Structure 1
Amino acid sequence: MGSSAADRSPRTVIDVLLSEYPFPGFLEPVRQRAAEFERAHPEYQVVIRGCYYEDLPTQVSTEALAGKPPTIASYYSGASQQAIDTVTADGRPVFTPVAGQIGDRTEILGEPVILDDLVDACRDFYRIGGEIAAVPLTLSTMLLYTNTAMLHAAGIDTVPSTWDELSAACAAVARLDGGPAHAITWPIDGKLFQQAVALQGGLFLDNENGHAARATTVDLTSAEVMAYVEWWRELAQRGQYVYTGKFEDWLGNGAAFAEQRVAFRVDSSFAINFMSGDPAEPHVTVSMLPYNGRTAPAGNWIGGDAMWLADGLDPVTRDGALAFMQYLNSPRNAAEWHKASGSTPVTKGAAAVLETEGWFAAHPVHRVATGQLERTDRSPGSSVPVFPGSHGIQTAIMAAMEDVVVRGADPLARFTRATAEAQKALDHYNATCLGEGPRDPGWLVVGT
């Protein structure tokens, strides 16, 4: 039996390099969607490759300098500026904003365009330089995990929703006879500062937190930063907050909560898949992250990653890549991706599917992150920064907080020093990426 003309024609390859995370089989559902897309569009071959998210910027830069950049690459949200700054051997940007390539089209190769359906918080974060730069694939934010058995034993029936309520609950847990030595834990991690400041609508950077244009100045002594530092310090001084002694120690903090050595833990929404809603853990609940009650909640940290489109593609490859991005985020596919990965739905359509089919009713903890991300006033401060030199800035933040919590440093003086350190890192990054000649390899280090 003879082959059809389509079978004899060479297929257009879409080379997709995606961030890998330490979750078993994380990208397998995406590979399944790629196979489905190929069946619907047999003129294309979608090649899915994985790369650990912290290594991906280096991998893409290496391939781009060799003249073989991927068609699509998914960068961790905190590495968005690195995506923008990745260049070819002749200095041209590797990626182009997806909104400009989509234009006013409502579908591409029959796949409906989902940009207008993105949840507002996601849409706002990836609006960089006036247009949506990338299409989100995964999404997360920070939530509060509570041991309700301890909370009820302390005489509290409602999970705290503000910093003051959480402080009072920690004090009540600390008074329990035979209770835990400490009440709450979270890591010293720059992401939590981003969350806390966004909740208050504050800014770290100029140029609308780096969204309107490349950021050139950083301030770690704003009223919003200092309010968070002072509240955190008070919890530590009262012995209610416990620090494991290691930056970004999510495993250590998770162990403290799982072993019931604390009543509260702050963690990513991704942790829901691993520790909450299980019938064997009826004492664990998940809620929105408490906020500074002196101001209405304004925004949230945005985690996860987004797909960036290579510039200079021929129209056939470009449209195939754009169509695949839309296909991954169709309401049904995005809903299934949420179930498989724990990623918060990136579109309103996906959330509606999960609501309509009863998934959220059966798994209410999974609705929490969606509800929290809807809590945004869409001001510039509600969307966390696009950091140039994120690693250096985050390191300055974490070192300063450790000095305050562990060594009793004066908060304002120490964060004033941290601002100078962060500014030096930002200046060095910008000079590296905007200058002539070889770049300092440090620009590729991902700051979390």
Structure 2
Amino acid sequence: MRKFKFLLTLVVLVMSIAALGAVPAAAQEKCTKETPCQIDIWIIFSDHRYDWAVDAGNRFMEKHPEFKINFVQQKSYDESIKNYVLAKEQNQVPTIVQTYEIGTQFSLDSGYFKFADDIIAGRKDVLGEPVNFEDILPVIRNYYTVDGKWASVPWNTSTAITYSNMDILNKVGITEPPKTWGETMADCALLQPLVDSKEIDGCATWEIDDWYFEQWMAQQNELFANNDNGRSGRATEIRVDSEGALNIMKFYQDMYAKKYFVYTGLGKNGSGQVFSSGKAAITINSSAGARGIMAAAAEQKMNIVTSPLIYNEAKGYTGNILGGATMWVSDGLDKEVEDGAMAFLLFFSNTENAASWHTASGYVAIRQSSLDLLTNLKPGNDILWNITDKKREDIPGTNWFESNPAFATATNQLNASKDTPATRGALLGTFVETRPIINAATEDLMLNGGDPAAYMAKVKVQLDQMLQEYNDLHS
């Protein structure tokens, strides 16, 4: 409850600030090459992905020298939101902030930001940078549009996928990665002799993460929240006691009881080490980790393959939700700075940059034109991000995905998803506080057993109460 009380404090602060009205950034008569207007952008990356962003910023400034792009690193998405609230109080907000998908409802309620569609105002381009949102993949468009309008501009989009060590699976005659929960259990049974001989620690390992819970809910076409996942009306209930939710808890219990699952502790992030050291055959992770995971596997000469996230065959497959973040533009900016910010975001997410960002990270190439580019490469494409040298270079060959099949899995999975309220993902103001509670419940039920139905009914009461308190502040 301590964390939720902090959120309530933030919300009260937000409402107090909003009551004062938006205060524009310091006005500047004209943005010129001699006196460029600065565009401050908060992002959470500090590794090679930050280097890629800085390079993109430099490329933009070559085209638009009247603006200065300044990236500021934030420790985490949660920290970024907290820092933004404080910056708002001091009238020192960044021009653009990267906010994760579960912060969407909070971003809408705060009144901090101006809708991307309102900034664009029907224009075909902004400062010469084409808009072309129609090119963005449907599953991304469905998540980040609100009442048919773009609230923010997509950048880093991911989904959860399965990674399998085929060297281990091949030892017991398994030639394909598992597709379902049932196949995973069957594969684990075959691998148990390797566990008994201590050749591996266990069959499967991944972090207990509510994001996977949300993915499995969508796969079963189960709503995470009522009112069409908060999209036909404000969410007032979180459906952690539904049939689909209970199926997930039982799956964890079965995997752990049969000693198929290597658990490294809540929030410990130890499963990655278990998998990367060859001590487990199957893991689940974000597609955003594909470049790092596959690069490490290549160095260790491990045969790692990616495949769609395993699903509950008893319910069938409907689709997956996305993860990642979008870029929100602060409200109350000088018009010239506002246009510069939007022009940058349109450049940042254009066909070539979306394709290059995909190679640098493993995040989904958010545009259909980017996918077309990556499958029809020509010499001089200058798309591949060289992590060591911090620069772009040509992708050899004509098809990126033929030589890097692990990178195609996430896109194929999202494109295969049916469009339903469940797969559009939930909008609710207490998402940040909800996830740790579900994680703790999953851990407790898995380790200590018990009736998932009775347990999750109590969890639902707690989550719904939190949500009601949040909603009361925005009624």
TM band (smaller chain):
0.7 to 0.9
Please give the secondary structure, in 1, of the residue aligned with 2:69: strand
Number of the residue aligned with 2:56: 33
Give 2:456's aligned residue.
Answer: 415
Whether 2:474 is the aligned partner of 1:434: answer yes
- Tell whether 2:425 aligns with 1:384: yes
> Alignment partner for residue 159 of structure 1, among 177, 181, 188?
177
Instruction: Give the superposition deviation at 1:289.
Output: 0.9
Mapping of residues 211-222 of structure 1, within 5 Å: 211-222=231-242
Alignment match of 1:247 (pick from 263, 266, 275): 266
Following TM superposition, by how much is the alpha carbon of 1:9 offset from its aligned partner in structure 2, in angstroms? 6.0
Partner in structure 2 of residue 271 of structure 1: 289
2:216 equivalent to 1:170: no
Q: Which moved more, 1:295-304 or 1:354-363?
A: 295-304
Hey, what does 1:89 align to over in structure 2?
none
Q: 2:138 aligns with which of 120, 124, 130?
A: 120
Q: Distance in 2 between matches of 1:101 and 1:46?
A: 19
Question: For residue 36 of structure 1, what is the amino acid of its counterpart?
Answer: R
Question: Could you say which residue in structure 2 is the equivalent of 1:289?
Answer: 309
Change (3 A) 1:64 1:212: farther
Q: CA deviation at 1:129?
A: 4.1
**Cα distance change of structure 1 residues 137 and 64 upon mapping to structure 2, 3 Å threshold:** same
Aligned mates of 1:8, 1:356 — CA distance in 2: 37
Query: Match for residue 403 of structure 2?
Result: 362
Residues 131 and 299 (structure 1), Cα distance of their counterparts in 2 relative to 1, 3 Å cut: farther
- Give the C-alpha shift of residue 411 in structure 1: 0.7
Match of 2:108 in 1: 84
Letter in 1 for 2:39: I
Partner in structure 2 of residue 425 of structure 1: 466
Structure 1 residue 58 displacement after superposition: 1.0
Shift of residue 8, structure 1, vs aligned partner: 7.0
Structure 1 distance, partners of 2:278, 2:59, is 44
Closer, same or farther: CA 314–404 of 1 in aligned 2, 3 Å: same
- Deviation per CA, 1:249-288: give whole Å up to 9, x if none: 33x0011112222211111112222222643333221111
Q: 1:257 aligns with which of 275, 280, 283?
A: 275
How many residues were matched structurally? 420
Output one character per residue of 1:300-346: Cα deviation in whole Å (capped at 9) or x when no partner.
23222110122233432222111111100111111111222332212
Partner of residue 16, structure 1 = 41
**Aligned equivalents of 1:228, 1:308: Cα separation in 2:** 33
Equivalents in 1 of 2:174, 2:363: separation in Å? 31
- For the residue of structure 1 that corresponds to 2:227, the secondary structure is helix
Selected match of 1:225 from 240, 245, 248: 245
In structure 1, C-alpha distance between the alignment counterparts of 2:267 and 2:233, rounded to whole Å = 29
Give CA deviations for 1:25-80 in whole Å, capped at 9, x if unaligned: 43222222222212212222222222122210011111112223222111022222
Q: How large is the Cα RMSD of the aligned pairs? A: 2.1
One-letter amino acid of the counterpart of residue 455, structure 2? R
Q: What residue number does 1:57 align with?
A: 81
Distance 2:369 2:400 in 1: 14
The secondary structure found in structure 1 opposite 2:401 is helix
Q: Is the 8 A contact 1:128 1:212 kept in 2?
A: no
- Distance change in 2, residues 1:172/1:63 (3 Å): same
SS in 2 for 1:75: strand
Letter of the 2:205 counterpart: T
Separation (CA, whole Å) in 2 of partners of 1:400 and 1:296? 25
**Native 8 Å contact 2:178 2:187 kept in 1:** yes
SS at match of 1:379: coil
Does structure 2 retain, via aligned residues, the 8 Å contact 1:174–1:180?
A: no
What residue number does 2:98 align with? 74
Secondary structure of 1:325's counterpart equals helix
Q: After the TM superposition, which of the residue ranges 179-188 and 53-62 deviates more from structure 2? A: 179-188
